[in-house]
Structure 1
Amino acid sequence: MLSARSLFQEIHNNDQAFQLFCSIAAKGEDQGGWENGRIAQLVEDQELAPKIARHGADEEKHGRIFNALLHKRGLAPVPVPDDTDYTMILERQGIGLAHTRLRRDEPLTERDVIVYLAHSRVTEQRAAEQMQLLRKVFDGHPEVGRAVRMISADEDNHLAYCHEELLRLAAGGHGRLILTTLQETSHAEIRTYRDVSLAVLAHLGEILRWPRAKSALLAAGVHGVYAYERFGGGHRRMLTLTMPHNRNALGGPPVHESFA
């Protein structure tokens, strides 16, 4: 029987599949770390800048964690196929702040900050949900379980921070722009998540030598999720803003807990 648990355990049990999975995850986290670090340098809001820097430091830590999981298995990161690069595919669609913009030494405008936070609000929703799923799958595993618990706690904090900061900006009169940006970002994200998921499954299927019927069934599941999110109202969870219980979630210094 196909299930998320059986699928992820199959990936974990195969060195080459696990190597690709962790490499894809690590690259995305490293990219997020660079982007947030650069944004923290360019933002003029001195209360917001340290929170963005903390976000970036967390993402870099996650990249190190995925690489450490590989190292513990005697594996090295492998090149990430272009069709699985979620972060860069979103950027090529004009979602979030372009790297060409971040490389210029020009302060970010308030509109830039809203674009950044809306992008983070949507992508952190996805990240938080994925890590919650991985926690259920690997909770009892001594190494992977600890890794995903650490990352999951951070992703929950990142999502809370995005809610709180966007609500602050909405109260300042930017509600319409925030909603429009969230709608545009969520539509692009769910399409990109579908395409990247299909690409990842194709690469894993080749490594694990899945029969055609299994690959087709998994692909149908991805298309089903996309249909629900795009046409069945599933994307609405990415549009709402609710004040989180853990206020000021990124208000402290980054947690540099070792995973060596």
Structure 2
Amino acid sequence: MLSARSLFQEILDNDDSYQLFCSIAASGETQGGWENARIAALVPAAMSDLAPRITRHGADEDKHGRIFNALLKKRGLEPVPVPPEADYTMLLERAGIGLAHEKLGADEPLTERDIVVYLSHSRVTEQRAADQMVMLVKFFGDHPEVGKAIRMISNDEDNHLAYCHEELLRLAAAGHGRTIQRTLRECALAEIKIYRDVSLAVTSRMGRLLGWPKPKAAVLTAGVHAIYAYERLGGWRRMVRLRMPERRGALDGPATAAAAAF
């Protein structure tokens, strides 16, 4: 019987699929770390109070990248290149979601609108990350090899999502409400397409590595399309709602050490 648990267990049990999974995750987290570090360095003076939290966000993402690389090392594996069609962060940038790397690589201060775009993009992508980690914790939170790492990353993603809610609500109260809602909607509708495309690419790669028969691959591909259909019809709205989180000041203070995961 096909289930999310059985599929992830299959990926976890095979070195080649595990290597690809951890490599994709490590690359995306490391890229997120760089992006947040650059945004923190370029934050406009009028919003300088945000810089420490953006820095903390980036430090968490860097930590997650190190964790996934450490999981590979524990099994005696090296990271492998991420297939371009499975590079979620690169595809988001190409679609114009978030702040362009060209802008982040320059030394010009960002604008307040840039920060609104950054936080809106983060609210959408952190929802995706938090949802995925909740699922992994449910299935593998007690796993002897990956359980501690998964729980730590999941807690961080919940913090990131809470931070995005809190800061966007504060900015909405300061007069940015319409821009936030418009940007959230644009980001969410673009993200669900990219997530579909990346999911199809990863499913195809995993199928080849694990030798899935055609009927199984077809069922999984249909499942990806079904998820997209649900999200396109209204599931995307969960990514744009804003509410004051229970975790206030979630990114105040320093990041926790990656070593605590092992």
Q: Which of the five TM-score ranges fits, normalised by the shorter chain?
A: over 0.9
Pick aligned residue for 2:211 from 202, 205, 209: 209
The Cα of 1:253 is off from its aligned counterpart by: 1.1
The Cα of 1:47 is off from its aligned counterpart by: 1.2
Give the letter aligned to residue 239 of structure 1.
V
Partner of 2:244: 243
The Cα of 1:254 is off from its aligned counterpart by: 1.2
Distance 1:96 1:236 in 2: 18
The Cα of 1:139 is off from its aligned counterpart by: 1.7
Which runs of 5 or more structure 2 residues have no equivalent in the other structure? none
Give the letter aligned to residue 147 of structure 1.
A
Aligned residues: 259
Counterpart mapping for 1:146-157 below 5 A: 146-157=148-159
Give the letter aligned to residue 113 of structure 2.
R
Distance 2:252 2:109 in 1: 22
The Cα of 1:237 is off from its aligned counterpart by: 0.4
TM-score where L is the length of structure 2: 0.98
Q: Tell me if 1:164 matches 2:146.
A: no
Distance 2:211 2:258 in 1: 37
Identity %: 69
Counterpart mapping for 1:1-260 below 5 A: 1-44=1-44, 45-231=47-233, 233-258=234-259, 259=261
TM-score where L is the length of structure 1: 0.98
CA distances 1:88-117 after superposition (whole Å, capped 9, x unpaired) = 001001100000000110111010000000
The Cα of 1:256 is off from its aligned counterpart by: 1.4
Moved more, 26-35 or 138-147: 138-147
CA distances 1:32-51 after superposition (whole Å, capped 9, x unpaired) = 00000000000022210000
Distance 2:41 2:171 in 1: 20
Give the letter aligned to residue 234 of structure 1.
G
Which runs of 5 or more structure 1 residues have no equivalent in the other structure? none
Distance 1:140 1:86 in 2: 28
